[in-house]
Amino acid sequence: MRFIDYLDKGASLGADAPCLTMDGRDLSYGEVQRLSYRIARGLDRSGIAPGEKVAILSGNDPLAFACVFGISRAAAVWCPINPRNEATENKFILDQFDCSLLLFHSSFAPMVDAVRQDLPKLRALVCLDAELPFAPSFDRWLGGLADDVYQRATIDDLAMIPGTGGTTGKPKGVMLSGRNIEAMTALTLMGYPFKGRPIYLALAPLTHAAGVLCFPIMTLGGRVVIMHHPDIGEFLALIERYRVTHTFLPPTVIYMLLDHPGLDAADRRSLQCFWYGAAPISATRLAEALKRIGPMAQLFGQTEAPMMISMMPPADHYNPDGTIAMERLSSAGRIGPLVQAGIMDGDGKLLPAGSRGEIVVRGSLVMEGYYRNPEATREASAHGWHHTGDIGYIDGDGYLYIVDRAKDMIITGGFNVYSIEVENALRAHEAVQDCAVIGLPDDKWGERIVAVVQPRVGHTVDGTALAAFVKQQIGSIKTPKQIEVWDDLPRSKVGKVLKPDIRARLVQR
């Protein structure tokens, strides 16, 4: 399966059905198909050969997302660029990933103009919505091209090269094949509820999780409703207006949704599956979401094994008697049915159930490797498994629990303390919106546990009372010796908390 196959499958179920929607305007499946034929021809006319890399730099936009299918029809490789990146990072990505053509929105024109002279591999620029002195408009670029069926044969199965999150160091290019995306799509359709034609609401960036979740939606002829900027009130209004069945939000935005005054009055009865993931979630806030929002569904993956390493559909959040399975809310669900996963020690030995070690994965979900980085590829695939860098365990019922990133484990007073366990205890307090736990050098303890907490709106955090609350849950050894209260936490472009930035700020004091 190529990206175009998901679009064409949806079109076969009704070419006139709405495919991409934003601001009340629809592009039907047939219209997106015909546009993809023209885009593929445009890439051909621009000299883009099969296998060359084509980047897209845009916020959430139907036209920008439609270009993904034109790139696929031209047998080229899609390089999604996070619209929140700085110019230096974008220049690195465009050069390191060997991008030959860039499609971009005019809001990024100053950035593109500033870096283009330093990118000799970048042979062509196209602006999606304006005519610029250094780039033709999308309409002019497509001028005179036919919209009848056109498709080039591929030279290999490479479909896209997203960059890693970049929370530490420079991003690596993850080579995802058509087989990888097909496995992710199959797992999504197998593991979560779908009734009728789905209607998917995309608030999060389409360059990341929100984008690849569009492909299983399209196989069923579903509609993708796109939000160009985050707005919780508009999010709730669109759920009502379009009878949204599926959506995805990271935990930080779910917390904002739970605190929004319009949540309880909004009509959410159409929801079948509300995905959450990309970061740990507070079990207390998740239980609140189950009561106030509806059918929550977890997914766990990473760029190198997209989305569906483990899965927890809505039903798994409840006990057989219908009560919330609180003990399960801290898990990442069960390993996907098309995925092999295990827990491995430092010597490459797989460990039994209940043992803690690194989460490793293999199968058709796992990337082809890092682009032009064989050393990083070898390191990540040692012992024949992909190494996630996450520490966790699998319980006797097959549920996966993530206890930390390998690099974030704290050794204090001779004891191993996993930061996620402490963070979960902190998030259980009603005054805590979000938090991060790190270890800092300490003469007595070797490392002392330091927590930085972000208060919920309208709440005040008392450090002494919060420490006592945590101690009661997980004991004195794991209780932070230092608690800092910050209005907000530094985050990456995809919303992950940047612990290196927190550590640097605290050390500089």
> What pLDDT digit, counting tens, does each position of 412-471 carry?
877 778 888 899 889 999 999 999 999 998 878 888 999 999 999 899 999 999 999 999
Of the residues 151, 176, 201, which one is the last residue of a structural domain?
A: 176
**450, 440 in Cβ contact below 8 A?**
yes
State the average pLDDT over residues 145-173.
87
Whole-angstrom Cα distance, residue 385 to residue 388?
A: 9
| 318-362 pLDDT, tens digit each | 999 999 999 999 999 999 999 999 999 999 999 999 999 999 999
pLDDT of residue 209 exceeding 90, the answer is: no
Kindly state whether residue 8 falls inside one of the protein's structural domains. no
Give residue 38's pLDDT: 98
- Domain finish residue from 156, 176, 196: 176
The candidate with the shortest Cα–Cα distance to 251, out of 59, 60, 435, is 435
- Is residue 424 within 8 Å of residue 280, measured between CB atoms? yes
Q: Is residue 172 part of a domain?
A: yes
pLDDT of residue 392: 94
Q: Tens of pLDDT along 278-317?
A: 777 888 899 999 999 999 999 999 999 999 999 999 999 9
Residue 358 located in a structural domain = no
Neighbouring-strand partners of residue 391: 358, 404
pLDDT of residue 169: 61
231 within domain boundaries: no
Number of structural domains (the chain) is: 2
Beta strands in 206-356, from DSSP E residues, in sequence order: 223-226, 246-249, 273-276, 296-302, 305-312, 334-335, 340-344
Residue 50 lies in a domain: yes
Q: Is the pLDDT of residue 167 over 70?
A: no
The per-residue pLDDT for range 473-503, each reduced to its tens digit, is: 888 888 999 999 999 999 876 677 888 889 8
Instruction: Give the pLDDT confidence score for residue 166 in this predicted structure.
Output: 53
Q: What is the pLDDT of residue 508?
A: 81
- Give, in order, the Cα–Cα distances in Å from 50 to each of 56, 101, 139, 163: 17, 13, 23, 21
Task: Kindly report the length of the chain.
Answer: 509
Residue 469, domain CATH: 3.30.300.30
DSSP string, 164-195: P--SSSSPPBEEEEHHHHHHHHHHHHHHS---
Position 251 confidence tier, pLDDT thresholds 50, 70, 90: confident
The answer to whether position 452 is within a domain reads yes
- Please report the pLDDT score of residue 165 as a whole number: 66
Which of 123-137, 188-202, 414-428 shows the lowest per-residue confidence on average (mean pLDDT)? Answer: 414-428
Answer yes or no: is 150 within a domain.
Answer: yes
Q: Residue 152 contacts by C-beta under 8 Å, 6 or more apart in sequence? A: 40, 44, 50, 73, 74, 75
From 128, 156, 176, the end of a domain falls on 176
Q: What is the CATH number of the domain that holds 119?
A: 3.40.50.980
The answer to whether residue 420 is domain-embedded is yes
Residue-level pLDDT at 476:
86
Q: What is the mean pLDDT of residues 207-225?
A: 94
* Domain ranges, residue 482: 409-507
For range 123-138, the mean pLDDT: 97
Cβ atoms of 439 and 491 within 8 Å: the answer is no
Over the stretch 60-97, which tens digit does the pLDDT of each residue have?
A: 999 999 999 999 999 999 999 988 888 888 999 999 99
